Amino acid sequence: MGAFSILLFPHGEVSYGLPLFPKQYQAVEQIDAGDHYACMYCGHVEQLSTPNERCSRCHNKYIGWAKAINIEVIR
Ligand SMILES: [Zn+2]
């Protein structure tokens, strides 16, 4: 049969990830409602209500949140 699948985001959908540029890779001090933030330790992305919120994935290893950027995957 040779069935295989490739996981791709449909065009136009975005995912969130850590910023690629050091200037953007800084812990935020305030949270904008509706924005996504990436844990600077593990990269886990969450919507936050406070910058002091702990990462739900790595908890105590949390070092800060960087604003996550939208990555549009283009085929
Ligand atoms: Zn984390």
Domain ranges (residues) in the chain? 14-72
pLDDT-based confidence at residue 58 (cuts at 50, 70, 90)? very high
How many A from CA of 18 to the centre of ligand 1?
Answer: 12
CA distance 75 to 8: 8
pLDDT at 59: 86
Closest CA to 53 of 31, 26, 25, 32: 31
Give the global pTM.
Answer: 0.62
> Positive or negative CA dihedral for 57, 58, 64, 66?
negative
Average pLDDT of the residues in 13-22: 64
How many A from CA of 40 to the centre of ligand 1?
Answer: 7
How many A from CA of 1 to the centre of ligand 1?
Answer: 41
Closest CA to 62 of 32, 42, 35, 37: 42
Can you name the residues that pair with 66 across neighbouring β-strands? 38
pLDDT at 23: 63
How many A from CA of 56 to the centre of ligand 1?
Answer: 7
The residue ranges of DSSP E strands in the chain, in sequence order, are 14-17, 36-39, 45-47, 65-67, 69-72
Average pLDDT of the residues in 18-29: 71
pLDDT at 12: 60
